[in-house]
Structures are given as C-alpha cells and as structure tokens.
Structure 1
C-alpha cells in the first residue's frame, strides 16, 4: 500500500498542475481533496466526509460575515465612494513632489477598507489616479509601481476578505485578525510613502508637483469622505470595542451603506439590484473556494504530511525565526505562479500545524501569511495587480510597470522582516483590546 504521505505529496503536485492548467481554485481544491480522501479512506467514507464538510460550512453562522461585507462594499461602490479617498488626499498633498503617488497610497488604504480586495482596490484607484499622474508628467514606471504596491493594501486593511477566509479555515477569531491587521496596514502604507519620498528626493523628475489646490477645494473634498469614513470607523470600531460580533458588524455595515446610497441620492432599483447580483456572484465563488479548501485541509490532515513536517521542523531545532524565514521563502516562490487566494488555501493546512508546534500565534501567522501573499500580487511573473494596471493603462508595457515596482518590493521585504523580527507590531492591538 502506498504510504499516505506519498499520496499527500502527489495530491499537492496534482493541485499545482490543475492550477497551472487554469482550473478554478475552488474546483481544484475540492477535486484533489475528494479524490485523496477516497484513496485514503474509502469511497463511502469520503462521500460522507464531503457531505458533512459541505453542510457544516454552508450552515456556519460566522460565514455569513462574508456576503454581508461584500454587500456593504458593493453598496458603497453604488454610492459613488470609489474615487473620494484619492481626491481628498490629492487636494491636500498633490502639490508636493510625489504627492499624487502618496495620495494614491492613501486612496488605496481608504478604499481597501471598503472593498477588502486587492484587485478591486488597484483597479478602482488606478482608473482615478493614473490619469491625474499622467497630467502631472509622472514617470510611467513610478506612477504604476506606486499604484500596484498601494493596491495590495486592500488585502490587509479590515474588513479584509483574505483575513475572513483565513479565520474560517484556521478557526481563528475574525475580530482579532482585523485588530491585528490595523498596525501592519498603517506601517505598510508608511513604508510605501517613505519609498515615494526617497525616490522623489533622489530623482525629482519621477513625480513633479501638481498644481496646489486652494483651501476652498480641500475642505469639500474632505467632507465628501466624511460619511464613508464614519461608516468604516463605526463598523470596525464597534467590532473592536465589542459592540458587535463580526457578523453583526457586517449586517450593520450593509444597512449603513444602504443609508449612504440614500443620502447621496444613489438609492435606485438598478443600483441595489446590481449590488445584490455582484454580491451573490462573489459570494458563490468564495463559498466554493472555502468548501474546497476545507476538503483539501482534511485530506492533508489525514495524510499526515503536516504532522511529518512539524516533527521535521522540531527535529531540526532551528528555532522559530529560521522556520518562519523558510516558510516566507516557500510562500514567495509559490507566489511567483499562484494567485494570493490559491497560495493561502494551499499552504495554510500545511504550515498552520507547524506554527502551533513552534508555539507561535496563529493570529500573527494569519497577518504574516496575508502580507506575504500580498507581495505575490506585484512580483513577477504573475503579479496580478500589474496585469490589472496594464489592462487599464493600455499603452504602458508590462516591463515598465515591473521596473517601477522594484523599489516598493524592497519596502515590502523590509516590512515583512519587521513583522518577523517584532511580532508585537501584529499582536499589540489585539492584546490591548482583549
């Protein structure tokens, strides 16, 4: 009989092959997990296991947080909040060298708090910010590099869809994950802004100053984001201080976003039906992915691969830091050809038991994983954010965008090193709110 570890290793290779062939990640995970359980257990036992996991997943109360936050995001889109954060930041700092690039980072952070998605963030802010940077004669590589890097904030800033999925798979508190993401999200944005400031100091022609906006234009732009900002602070703040559970916070957010549409005069049948349709489409995709991920995680657990790797790490006696650096290198390597969600769902069942074995916090690991996943959105050859920008820009070659990303990748690696060296950056706020 073939050892279960060999079956597990073969399953991982098959999954990678399926993803390379373009099979949807949820389908690939479910297929490998289901077939693997059939080989390890029996067809009858595997069928029962698949049915139980599917039913338990769909009926989980906490999974309701996903479609509700997605609905909140789409209602905010319908309310016309997509460009407001960039406009406000551009009015205040656009007249400085690199100011529009810094404003795009601020816009990505603000919009990421609405969308929870890196790709949605980079697509929206690029469509707004890139024409403005072109008018100001920004270097194409510099402008697109800043946008690609800033877009990754959408995966980390709460309410992050990636953190919600991780919390469900790893059975961790979504509220604690959101709290843990606040400080890393702020420091990540500051690292990008510092990179922009340094580049423009060394080469001022990269980001020439735009026209200074008068104060009579600045305050209206700031007031325009006031309602959306209050919505975000109320929902996320209420979650942190214990007013709401994550699902209740998402429910309150959806109702508040509906009121926002009404306040802005955008509450129409077309807008609401469009938001509901987009929510159902996105939620259906995410549910398939989560079910597939849990099936794959069960398969990996049964094979004993995770336990074998945990024992191997413990046997090496290399220490948690060396083990985490090794994980980071594997994640960055896999991120070269896997999209972020696929990377998370493939590696979480393998790495999480090792994290427990090393005595590290699963909350910290969730932020570390998402942060490493974000780097995959911009580094070659996959770099999904780059392809989104190139699709919007059209005339800017991919090579130009990738060259512009290099300084921001260095900032990413420094920030990742900070999270590894100083775990308190992640764990301080959840501990303070506990």
Structure 2
C-alpha cells in the first residue's frame, strides 16, 4: 500500500535527482512541491496553494529586508570595501608568520559583514589576497585553504543572507537570528586564526613573514575602513537594540552606504546602475527559491514525513544531543553534493519541527543549520568555495586546494561541536537583546 509518507520520500528523492541533474533549486522545489500536493490533495488545491504562497511572499513587507541588504552590499562593493578590509589587516599583521593569511581571515570577516554571502566573500577577498600571498612565497595550498575557509564567514556573520531566508521560512525574528550569529561568527574566525598560527608555528615556510609596515602607514589604512565599520555597527547594532526593525535597518544602511559612496568619490551612474542590476538579479532568484521552498514545505507537511521522523526519534528514546549529532551527520552528507541554500531549504521543513520537539530553540537551530551548511562550502566533492578559488587561480589544482583546507575543516568540526554542546553561546546575546 502506498502511504503519504512513501509519496513524501519519493518526492525528496525526485528533488535530489533533479538537483543532481542541474535543475535550479527554486524550480526543483516548486515542481516537486506542486506535484506532490497535486497527488496528495488535488491539482486544484496545489495550484491554489502555489498562488497563495506566491502572493504572500511578493506582498510580504518583512521580505524587503533582503533586497535592501543586498543593495547595501553592492554599493559598498562599488566603494572599494573589499580591498580596504584586506589592506588594513595586512598592514597590521602581515609582518608575522602567516600574517597575510591572518589578514585574509580578517578581510573575509569584515567583508562578510556587508556581503552576507560566502561565495561573494571568497571570490572578492581571494581576488585581492591570493596574488599577494603567492607573491610573498606562501604555500599555494595553505593560502587557498585559508581563503576558502575564511569565505564561509560570509554566510554566518550578520547581515547573513542565509539567516534572512531561514528567518522567513521558519517565521523567526531576523533580528534575533543576527544577534545569535555574532558569537558563533566571531568565534569561527578565531578558530581559523588559531589554526593559522599553529600551522605556521609547526611549518614556518607555509607563510613567511613580510616586511613590517610602519605606523605612519597603518593609521591611514585604518581610517579607510572606519566608515564601513561604523555603517555595519550602526545598522546591525541599531537593529539588535531596537532602534530599527530589520527592514528599517536595511533602508538606513542603503542611504548611509550611498552617502559613503559619494564621500569616497564613487557616486557615478555606471556604479549605481551595476549595483541595482546585481541586486535585482539576485533578489529575483532568491524570491523564486523561497516560493519553491514554502510550497515544498507544505508538501512535506501534508505527507506526514516530519511526524513520522519525530515519532521514530521518540520511539528510539534517543537523547536530544544524539539526535542533533545525527542531523549534523545527515546535513554534512547531503552537503557533499548539494549547495548550501538547497541544503537549508530541503532540510528545514523536516528537521526544524523535530528539533523543536526535542526542546531546541528555533533560533539556535538556525545558527546550527547555517554553520553546518557552511562546512559544505569547503568539503569535497562539491566545495563551492574551492571551485571559486580554482577559477581565480587556474594553475592551482583542486587537489592542492582541498588538501590545504583540511586543517580548517578540522577547526570547523571542533567549532560545530562547541555550538552543539554549548547552546548558550548562541542564545545568550539574543536573550540580552530581547531583555
């Protein structure tokens, strides 16, 4: 007998097959979701659900935060923020062993705070930092591994695009998600810095020290990023302490970034036009993905898969910690062939209700999910960040880059373990903000 759960499982398998075949994630989610609802309920009900979801998303005021933050990021790109972040970090720590690698992590963290994207962060910072490190005699695998890992900071450090999408799908406060991401994001960067220091202490030839830059050159470099950092702290901090709603914060960020662009002398029609085009292109793609994800979530809910998995966990009498570890292993396995957004949208409707039933906060689960998703950006065989770097430095083999990222993967797994074992590290700041 064909049960609704079997239909749901078949739908998930079909979706994975479509994604493996190169079908865009938004289209795959929409097709499988509508098809599944048509089978389980009726074709008319499926079409009505698709129409209702599309209307609700397109008319949702809160979703305006996404294109606004994207526009703020693209305006900051035009203002030259990417080179400035790496340049100031390199001037302060470049004279130490592995200093340029340390600077690349700092640049990724700073740029991630305005880009909200792992791929954008690794592509932009690598284009600046990788030639400098190779010129200084850094081992190619070590240099590219540090950049690949550092790029993942863009997915977690606020304003994270992945957290915005999760907040919309899971109906959670974006402001609380951003607050919850601060400590994990900063501690992730610290783990990478420690990894670099240890590696260069063991094998100094990995990252030779460069000439020390005098203070008279460091301070002018620092002044070049003070305005961008002020923008980030004003927008994100104002949202966390309640000065702005997320949409208002993003709107203020766009206005202030335009002012900074004008002050930096980049307020020109081609730059503004390019920023608007890039924002509209990315926003349109994300809207399709969100609509598809919500339709797919409705199909998963009707199929009863979530309830069946929850009952299975309950019947096994597994501890909440063990259940979360199993989820992490499944996410890491799926992350070996799915991109991060696909992974998040596929698994949120299934895993989030189970995590809530086990007593985990949905805010914590959002951070856990994005952190696990980030690891997929650097572990084989997909490792999208690896392919981005290889595209920038075609003389580097994929094997060289993957080998270089292994120590950082170890740091990733340790950091993920800390997030799982100590949820308070994620939840204490949202608690303070809420209080």
Provide TM-score, normalisation by structure 2.
Answer: 0.99
Mapped partners of 1:151, 1:326: distance in 2: 26
In the other structure, the counterpart of 1:55 is 55
Deviation of 1:136 (Å) = 1.0
Asked if 2 retains the 8 angstrom alpha-carbon contact of 1:78 and 1:261, the reply is yes
Runs ≥4 residues deviating over 3 A: none
Per the alignment, in what secondary structure is the counterpart of residue 83 of structure 1?
helix
Per the alignment, in what secondary structure is the counterpart of residue 143 of structure 1?
helix
Asked if 1 retains the 8 angstrom alpha-carbon contact of 2:75 and 2:258, the reply is yes
Per the alignment, in what secondary structure is the counterpart of residue 212 of structure 2?
coil
Deviation of 1:45 (Å) = 1.1
Tell me whether 1:135 sits opposite 2:138 in the alignment: no
Mapped partners of 1:314, 1:177: distance in 2: 28
- Any idea what the Cα deviations from partners look like across 1:137-184, whole Å, max 9, x if unmatched? 000000000000000000000000000000000000000000000000
Asked if 1 retains the 8 angstrom alpha-carbon contact of 2:82 and 2:107, the reply is no
In the other structure, the counterpart of 2:324 is 324
In the other structure, the counterpart of 2:344 is 344
Mapped partners of 1:139, 1:375: distance in 2: 23
Per the alignment, in what secondary structure is the counterpart of residue 157 of structure 1?
coil
Mapped partners of 2:61, 2:7: distance in 1: 34
Deviation of 1:231 (Å) = 0.4
Deviation of 1:414 (Å) = 0.2
Mapped partners of 2:194, 2:82: distance in 1: 25
- Any idea what the Cα deviations from partners look like across 1:262-294, whole Å, max 9, x if unmatched? 111100111111111111000000000000000
Mapped partners of 1:184, 1:167: distance in 2: 17
- Any idea what the Cα deviations from partners look like across 1:186-232, whole Å, max 9, x if unmatched? 10000000000000000000000011111111001100001101000
Mapped partners of 2:305, 2:290: distance in 1: 21
Asked if 1 retains the 8 angstrom alpha-carbon contact of 2:63 and 2:168, the reply is yes
Mapped partners of 2:123, 2:372: distance in 1: 21
Asked if 2 retains the 8 angstrom alpha-carbon contact of 1:54 and 1:291, the reply is yes
Asked if 2 retains the 8 angstrom alpha-carbon contact of 1:18 and 1:28, the reply is yes
Equivalences for residues 175-190 of structure 1 within 5 A: 175-190=175-190
Deviation of 1:356 (Å) = 1.2
Mapped partners of 2:128, 2:217: distance in 1: 18
Asked if 2 retains the 8 angstrom alpha-carbon contact of 1:180 and 1:429, the reply is yes
Mapped partners of 1:342, 1:384: distance in 2: 13
In the other structure, the counterpart of 1:195 is 195
Mapped partners of 2:386, 2:173: distance in 1: 32
Equivalences for residues 269-418 of structure 1 within 5 A: 269-418=269-418
How many residue pairs end up in the alignment?
434
Asked if 2 retains the 8 angstrom alpha-carbon contact of 1:355 and 1:365, the reply is yes
Asked if 2 retains the 8 angstrom alpha-carbon contact of 1:314 and 1:357, the reply is no
Over aligned residues, Cα RMSD in angstroms?
0.6
In the other structure, the counterpart of 1:5 is 5
Asked if 2 retains the 8 angstrom alpha-carbon contact of 1:73 and 1:114, the reply is yes
Per the alignment, in what secondary structure is the counterpart of residue 97 of structure 2?
coil
Mapped partners of 2:166, 2:88: distance in 1: 33
Per the alignment, in what secondary structure is the counterpart of residue 138 of structure 1?
coil
Deviation of 1:2 (Å) = 2.5
Mapped partners of 2:280, 2:36: distance in 1: 30
Range 1-10 or range 129-138, more displaced: 1-10
Mapped partners of 2:315, 2:210: distance in 1: 58
Mapped partners of 2:192, 2:43: distance in 1: 52
Per the alignment, in what secondary structure is the counterpart of residue 120 of structure 2?
helix
In the other structure, the counterpart of 1:259 is 259
Mapped partners of 1:240, 1:75: distance in 2: 23
- Any idea what the Cα deviations from partners look like across 1:60-117, whole Å, max 9, x if unmatched? 1100000000000001111111211110010000000011001000000000001000
Per the alignment, in what secondary structure is the counterpart of residue 15 of structure 1?
helix
Mapped partners of 1:293, 1:131: distance in 2: 39
In the other structure, the counterpart of 1:33 is 33
Asked if 2 retains the 8 angstrom alpha-carbon contact of 1:116 and 1:154, the reply is yes
In the other structure, the counterpart of 1:150 is 150
In the other structure, the counterpart of 2:102 is 102
Asked if 1 retains the 8 angstrom alpha-carbon contact of 2:76 and 2:261, the reply is yes
Asked if 1 retains the 8 angstrom alpha-carbon contact of 2:112 and 2:154, the reply is yes
